Amino acid sequence: MCGIVGHIGSMNSIQVVLQGLSKLEYRGYDSAGVSYIDHSGNLFNQKKEGKLVNLEKLLGKDLPQTNICIGHTRWATHGEVNDVNSHPHSFGSISLVHNGIIENANEIKKELREKGYEFKSQTDTESFLGLMIINMKEGLSFSDAVRASFKRVKGHSAFVVLCKETKEIIAVKRGAPLVCGMHETDSNVMVSSDPYALVGLVDKLYFPEDEVFCTLSGAQTNLITFAEFDGTPSKRYLSTKQNLSADASEKGDFEHFMLKEIHEQPGLIRALTQYYIGGDGEASLEDVSSIKPERLILSACGTAAYAAYCARDIIENENRIPCVVELGSEFRYRDPILSKGDVALFISQSGETADTLASQGLCKQKGIKTVSIVNVMGSTLYRDCDHNLLIRAGVEIGVASTKAFTQQVLTSKLLSFTLKGHLKNAQERKALIDRFDLLASRIESLLQNQDVIKKIAEEIYNYKGYFYTGRGTYYPIALEGALKLKEIAYVHAEGYAAGELKHGPIALIDENMVNIAIIGPELHEKVLSNAEEIKSRKGIIVALADVNDEEAKGMCRYHVPLKFDGLGDLSPIYVNVANQLLAYYMAKFKGTDIDKPRNLAKSVTVE
């Protein structure tokens, strides 16, 4: 959840690290800090509570000159948000940054105190620093001290450690994201928790596996080396070309990344179609066509879990394969009954969500075949699953997930289509390409007419609470709509199956409550009656209903005109875009920090 960047090379390392951190600020932003060695060989450590701009102010306009630096943006887990608890943590010749949780920190701290180490911060991270200091004091070299300290810590973490004496950076991880990068022609080497921080700076990426020690050094040869615990060279890493575009990090004419990402959806839908069934990426679909699940277990967290519910509906309806959805954070701690014919499908934007990874690990351990639908190639989930389908959403910077949801559901649809055996059927293929294109066009018209939604947002953003309701395949959309509103507008919102309201929550309905009612073609009459029940209790209704739905228009105070015909099982994705816009504009009227909502981090790498 924290962001890590390290650099050694010919450029000014502080500048490179700050540039990388600014790209990662979306991951966590309670504080930021850097440690660097200046040209006289002195180690400096500077850190500041708050956003990166506070650190930049502290460093001043004339940045110190250095060719070796590590940096960090923090999402606090242990210890309050303040300067002292910020990373890097530094003592003597060592500085380090950390992402994750050291589960046995208390036990290590007790032992280190007995050996005379005095803790300055309340963090779990400092226990690793203490281990380093004591290990080096007891005679271990820098690299041996990293190995010995890493052996002692439990839990999922990535550490990046800088040594003043050797002028090296050593990075290692267990169950947390880490990537190294190198520019093949100039001598710049980097390390980060996210490949996105390395865009435009390196052309080759290396994704180490767990417990591989990556040493970055300023030497002319072997700029990055990989070693096992015993110090022998390691080949346990995946190397790829860096192919993310630098444009992705620009907002362009949009006020927020979230709005930009909402607008990217039609183009991404068409590109996904082209990639998987219009030509190039077919190979991946053929790869999954060999899967013959007797039952599909879908597991994910947050928005990705709602995408999993949509995937369940699509796959179950189209293939009649029983599907169950399991929330990653629950599934990992259950003792689920799994059988041989089961296949587990994991959906994730980052591919680094701790609970999703743990669920995947559980299935793998039980011998169940695992498949991912994931955005980040080379992520842990991508590497650990037997089969992968990339959602090809590009970098998603807005903390609230938008385009990833759309691409996750569409990729699930492609999986469903493949399981059905339609991949080689030209007619079915053409029909699906046309339907994806129709979806893209409908989203385009929604975007062109977004002022309708903006006006409604202006009218309703100050009410007491919001119920999103839907039935059937629109129920997960109600859940996702409410989540989007909560996370960026900081208001209470709840997603509900419309038929369930009368079993309790209807008690909350009065003239201060708003109901965003998805009134699609499915169970149309039933949903209208549910809306009627709310209207009778003076609730304010915003109908997400067809442009020709006179009954919905007559009954509800506000109407977002939609066009459902022809979309079939893709229509929930379309409705969801209307909800994304509604949440976006309500948050804008509330004046919140839309791209970086409070308390949230983009990638939840701790459980």
Q: Which residue is listed with tokens 């039609």?
A: 266
What is the edge-to-edge ordering of all strands in the sheet holding 157-163?
Answer: 89-91, 94-100, 157-163, 168-174, 213-217, 224-227
- Please say which residue, 301 or 506, places its beta carbon nearer to ligand F6R: 301
**Amino acid sitting at position 94:** I
- Minimum CB distance to ligand F6R, residue 485 (Å): 11
88 upstream amide cis, omega within 30 of 0 = yes
- Please say which residue, 157 or 348, places its beta carbon nearer to ligand F6R: 348
- Please say which residue, 358 or 400, places its beta carbon nearer to ligand F6R: 400
Other Cβ atoms within 10 Å of 569 Cβ, number: 17
- Minimum CB distance to ligand F6R, residue 227 (Å): 30
> Could you write out the three-class secondary structure of 365-402?
HCCCEEEEEECCCCCHHHHHCCEEEECCCCCCCCCCCC
Cβ atoms of 29 and 18 within 8 Å: the answer is: no
- Minimum CB distance to ligand F6R, residue 274 (Å): 23
Contacts of 186 (CB under 8 A, 6+ apart): 9, 10
- Minimum CB distance to ligand F6R, residue 438 (Å): 26
Q: Which residues pair with 162 in a beta bridge?
A: 95, 169
- Please say which residue, 215 or 349, places its beta carbon nearer to ligand F6R: 349
State the DSSP H helix or E strand holding residue 528, giving kind and residue range, or none if neither. helix 524-536
Q: Which residue is listed with tokens 């067809």?
A: 546
Q: Binding residues for ligand F6R, per CB under 6 A?
A: 301-304, 348-350, 353, 356, 400-401, 483, 487, 603-604
Distance between CA atoms of 325 and 298, rounded to whole angstroms?
5
- Please say which residue, 112 or 272, places its beta carbon nearer to ligand F6R: 272
Token pair recorded at residue 137? 């004091």
- Please say which residue, 149 or 303, places its beta carbon nearer to ligand F6R: 303
- Please say which residue, 43 or 583, places its beta carbon nearer to ligand F6R: 583
- Please say which residue, 356 or 571, places its beta carbon nearer to ligand F6R: 356
- Minimum CB distance to ligand F6R, residue 270 (Å): 22
Distance between CA atoms of 333 and 313, rounded to whole angstroms?
25
- Please say which residue, 86 or 349, places its beta carbon nearer to ligand F6R: 349
- Minimum CB distance to ligand F6R, residue 349 (Å): 3
- 406 SS3 class: helix
Q: Which residue is nearest to ligand F6R (CB)?
A: 302
- Minimum CB distance to ligand F6R, residue 163 (Å): 33
- 224 SS3 class: strand
Distance of CA 179 to CAs 140, 206, 336, 369, Å? 26, 6, 33, 26
User: Which of 2, 69, 363, 556 does the annotation list as catalytic?
Assistant: 2
Distance between CA atoms of 494 and 485, rounded to whole angstroms?
9
- Please say which residue, 232 or 599, places its beta carbon nearer to ligand F6R: 599
Annotated catalytic residue 180: no
Distance of CA 579 to the CA centre of its chain: 20
- Minimum CB distance to ligand F6R, residue 93 (Å): 37
Contacts of 201 (CB under 8 A, 6+ apart): 7, 16, 19, 20, 181, 183, 188, 190
Q: Which residues pair with 559 in a beta bridge?
A: 543
- Please say which residue, 3 or 302, places its beta carbon nearer to ligand F6R: 302
Distance between CA atoms of 509 and 28, rounded to whole angstroms?
36
User: Which of 23, 413, 588, 602 does the annotation list as catalytic?
Assistant: 602
- Minimum CB distance to ligand F6R, residue 241 (Å): 23
Q: Where are the beta strands (DSSP E) in 164-314?
A: 168-174, 179-182, 189-192, 204-208, 213-217, 224-227, 237-241, 295-300
- Minimum CB distance to ligand F6R, residue 306 (Å): 8
- 561 SS3 class: strand
**Burial letters 38-60, b for 16+ CB under 10 A, else e:** eeeeebbbbbbbbbbebbbeebe
Q: Which residue is listed with tokens 């990729």?
A: 411
Q: Where are the beta strands (DSSP E) in 153-203?
A: 157-163, 168-174, 179-182, 189-192
Annotated catalytic residue 602: yes
Dump the DSSP string for 274-297.
HHHTSSTTHHHHHHHHT---SEEE
- Minimum CB distance to ligand F6R, residue 487 (Å): 6
On the CB side of 95, how many CA atoms lie within 13 Å of its CA?
26
Q: Which residues are catalytic?
A: 2, 602
